[in-house]
């Protein structure tokens, strides 16, 4: 049984992942700001889940999650940085507040998680960080989501940097990146400044489908994974078609 901390666990991908890993016999620790919503998810986890209401955009709150989990469960095996928020605003209209919000929610929250759980993993001699990114972190194809795309590009670079550093200093600690495309959740409607319902877009996936990929990554410990076939080729094709050598 692994102890798996999941941020953004009150709905969507995080909630689906909690139910999935609980069904597999693991112990999910559900983290988000809304205790009532977390309790509802925990009720679907067969008595295996624990709940910690916290705002992971604050480092002190993340540290509290780490400390409370270790005090209760004795260890942390996997930390899933899943919290995130989109935005609907054209690039020419972006404000400093927009950019600050995207970085705080999509980058800083993940950075705090990675840094605060690291001493626990080092003491244990191993562990896994899973950062949930987005295809928009690979290809900025949705213009009103440009600031979100930029934040996810930042997260991807941060993930790669952590992976490279820890490969040299702490090879027992694995850092994985998972990139979904459109997911049929409330992500679109919850975007900063509002947005279209993600369920209205074609070629999407359910939260459960994405959760199954993340659950597989926890087992395989693969470093970089897309959530459906063809995404990697799409990214490669995009960048093969732009730019040129001198």
109 close to 7: Cβ distance less than 8 angstroms: yes
Q: Which two tokens stand for residue 119?
A: 């001493």
| Sequence-ordered list of residues with C-beta below 8 angstroms from that of 204, at least 6 positions apart, any chain | 181, 182, 183, 184, 198
117 close to 129: Cβ distance less than 8 angstroms: yes
43 close to 36: Cβ distance less than 8 angstroms: no
Catalytic member of 112, 148, 184, 226: 148
Rg (CA), the chain: 17
Which spans in 49-189 are helix H?
Answer: 59-73, 96-103, 109-124, 146-169
For the question of residue 148 being annotated catalytic, the response is yes
E strand or H helix that includes residue 189: none
What backbone phi and psi angles, to 5 degrees, belong to 137? Answer: -85, -5
Give CA–CA dist 83/3, Å, rounded.
18
E strand or H helix that includes residue 52: strand 50-53
Is the torsion defined by CA of 3, 8, 10, 13 positive or negative? Answer: negative
Give CA–CA dist 170/59, Å, rounded.
23
List residues with catalytic annotation.
148
């Amino acid at each position: 049984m692994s102890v798996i901390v999941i941020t953004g666990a009150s709905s969507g991908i995080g909630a689906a992942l909690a139910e999935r890993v609980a069904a597999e016999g693991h112990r999910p620790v559900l983290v988000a700001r809304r205790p009532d919503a977390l309790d509802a998810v925990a009720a679907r986890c067969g008595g295996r889940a624990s709940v910690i209401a916290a705002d992971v955009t604050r480092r002190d709150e993340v540290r509290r999650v780490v400390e409370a989990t270790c005090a209760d469960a004795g260890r942390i095996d996997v930390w899933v940085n899943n919290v995130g928020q989109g935005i609907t605003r054209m690039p020419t209209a972006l404000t400093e507040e927009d950019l600050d919000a995207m970085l705080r929610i999509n980058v800083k929250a993940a950075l705090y998680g990675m840094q605060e759980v690291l001493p626990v993993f080092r003491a244990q001699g191993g562990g896994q960080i899973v950062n949930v990114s987005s295809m928009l972190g690979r290809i900025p194809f949705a213009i009103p989501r440009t600031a979100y795309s930029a934040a996810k590009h930042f997260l991807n670079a941060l993930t790669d940097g952590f992976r490279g550093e820890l490969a040299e200093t702490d090879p027992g600690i694995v850092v994985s990146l998972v990139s979904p495309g459109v997911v049929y959740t409330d992500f679109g409607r919850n975007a900063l400044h509002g947005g279209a319902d993600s369920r209205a877009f074609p070629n999407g996936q359910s939260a459960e489908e994405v959760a199954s990929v993340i659950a597989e990554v926890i087992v395989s410990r693969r470093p970089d994974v897309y959530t459906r076939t063809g995404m990697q080729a799409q990214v490669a094709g995009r960048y093969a078609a732009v730019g040129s050598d001198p």
